[in-house]
Amino acid sequence: MKITQREMVLGVVTFAAVLAGGTWYVVDGKVDDWKSKANEIEKTRQQIRQYQTAIKMQENWLGDLEELQSGLRVFDTGKRSVSPELMKTIKGISDKHDLDITRTQPYTEKPTGDLFELGINCTWQGTLDAMVGFLADLQQQGVRYDVRQLNITPVGKGTGKLKGNMVIHCAYTRKPAAK
């Protein structure tokens, strides 16, 4: 049996059509999966870039953290209460600026890992210059002291005196005593 040229062309075209149809059938079912995987790969690459940036920034953060922690006071872990020493330090700073702290009330100590924080409510009386000097001196202490609440009222007309209360949060660390 002899195949004519026309039959040969029809056979090749039919084979090509079947091959194209089969390929389309197989590929069409996979296109959606391929697109979703491509999107997932791109999201993962973005996450990797973000994590790499965070890792690089961590080195800076650790350096900053060590620098800030070096400025904190260190108390012995066996010491029950550090509030008397902290109140004494605050009283010393206030005396230096002629700000009269009439009453102090410590709050409970709040630990956060190696860092501890203790709030002290101080009732005070003095001039505006004394208060500004006191606050400026606290600011110079770095991260040791943070005034988070400050209430000020005048004592009386023409006296030039102020009174109020403030909550000073003191940050410090605790380490075992050296033997």
Residue count of the chain, please give it. Answer: 179
Closest by alpha carbon to 72, among 174, 173, 1?
Answer: 173
For residue 118, the SS3 value is: strand
CA distances from 114 to 2, 7, 13, 82, 145 (A): 93, 87, 78, 15, 17
75-175, superfamily in CATH?
Ribosomal protein S6/Translation elongation factor EF1B (3.30.70.60)
Spatial separation of the C-alpha atoms in residues 133 and 96, rounded to whole Å: 9
pLDDT of residue 74: 75
pLDDT of residue 48: 94
Q: Please identify which residue in the block is written with the tokens 């209430």.
A: 151
pLDDT of residue 175: 77
Which positions of the chain have pLDDT values less than 70?
177-179
Question: Phi then psi for 171, rounded to 5 degrees?
Answer: -105, 140
> pLDDT of 33-85, one tens digit each?
888 899 999 999 999 999 999 888 887 787 777 777 777 777 777 777 888 88
